[in-house]
Amino acid sequence: MLVLVAPGQGAQTPGFLAPWLELPGAADRLADLSVAAGLDLAHFGTKADADGIRDTKVAQPLLVAAGLLSAGALNVSPSLVAGHSVGEITAAVLAGVLDPVEAMTFVAARGRAMADAAAVTETGMSAVLGGEQDAVLAHLAGLGLTPANINGAGQIVAAGTVDQLAALAADKPEKARVIPLKVAGAFHTAHMAPAVATLDALAPSLNVTDPRLPYVSNADGQVVDTGAEIVRRLVAQVSNPVRWDLCMETFTRLGVTTIIEVSPGGTLVGLAKRALPGVRTLALKTPEDLDAARALIAAEDAPAEDRAE
């Protein structure tokens, strides 16, 4: 069973989109997505520096566009889809809930609204790696921080004000490391409440259909089977924690055997390698990874007796 997954904010790096634009038709498709987003995504994906693509208003549409370009190049029908944070919008397109243009309109509004909310108070996020989960959660609560992403595989992302994050850096949970993330706000926390209101007002204008394949939600790791409920969750998700750990539990329960992460892949595959031993994984970083991905899919589709040991 194959699942396509899409990464969230922070996965982007300068120039990462350049090799994808060399594929036939990719530049034209990105131009259409750029119009919908109101941004020159080709510029930001090929020429902008790290600070330029760290901007929430840019990073979010750029990530969704990259995910759609790479998934289109792979051209596979997975058994299910999921995305981490803004990657859920990519997954909604892959599931047929939103068309690409409406998804870009939605994600552009999401990025702007979250950037505006983040500007109210100086906030950020840091990854906490290692430590015992309950102890880490208690430690974060003591500092007034929110566990914005519970990612599994020993990774929790804390979010809050810069002062709270500085306190975390100075006073780490036992047996844990703390790494600041390249994001510009405390996403998936109460700091994002104004953005929820903005997206809630936008949602009724979207043309939404029910998913044509299973869609695993960040909210609780459950499979959601109506488009209206998926969009409701996309709106609420902005200020609610990401439970990627529960998504991976669902992958296990449903019998997922192969995970391919669309561009800019790597983060979710890394988590899967630690949390889901025995599951085959591949990250689409450049078009050079497409042949390996297709070979992995072919092995997935082959009869059990024909698969390599």
Residue owning tokens 């059990």? 304
Output the CA torsion 13→237→269→254 (10° steps): -160
Q: What three-state secondary structure class fits 141?
A: helix
Q: How far is it, in rounded angstroms, from Cα 214 to Cα 92?
A: 10
Region of 25 on the Ramachandran plot (φ > 0 left; ψ -120 to 50 alpha; else beta): left
**Residue 85 annotated to the active site:** yes
Strand partners of residue 176:
130
Active site residue: 34, 70, 84, 85, which one?
A: 85
269 within 8 A of 95, measured Cβ to Cβ: no
DSSP state of 242: B
Output the CA torsion 296→298→301→306 (10° steps): -100
Please tell me the total number of residues recorded for the chain in this structure.
309
HSE-up of 151 (CA within 13 Å, CB side)? 26
**C-alpha angle with apex 12: 56 to 1, nearest 5 degrees?**
115
Number of other CB atoms surrounding residue 49 within 10 Å? 10
Phi then psi for 238, rounded to 5 degrees? -55, -35
Region of 195 on the Ramachandran plot (φ > 0 left; ψ -120 to 50 alpha; else beta): alpha
What secondary structure does DSSP assign to 279-290, as a single string? -EEEE--SGGGH
160 within 8 A of 146, measured Cβ to Cβ: yes
**Residue 191 annotated to the active site:** no
Active site residue: 70, 126, 139, 188, which one?
A: 188
Q: Provide the annotated active-site residues.
A: 85, 188
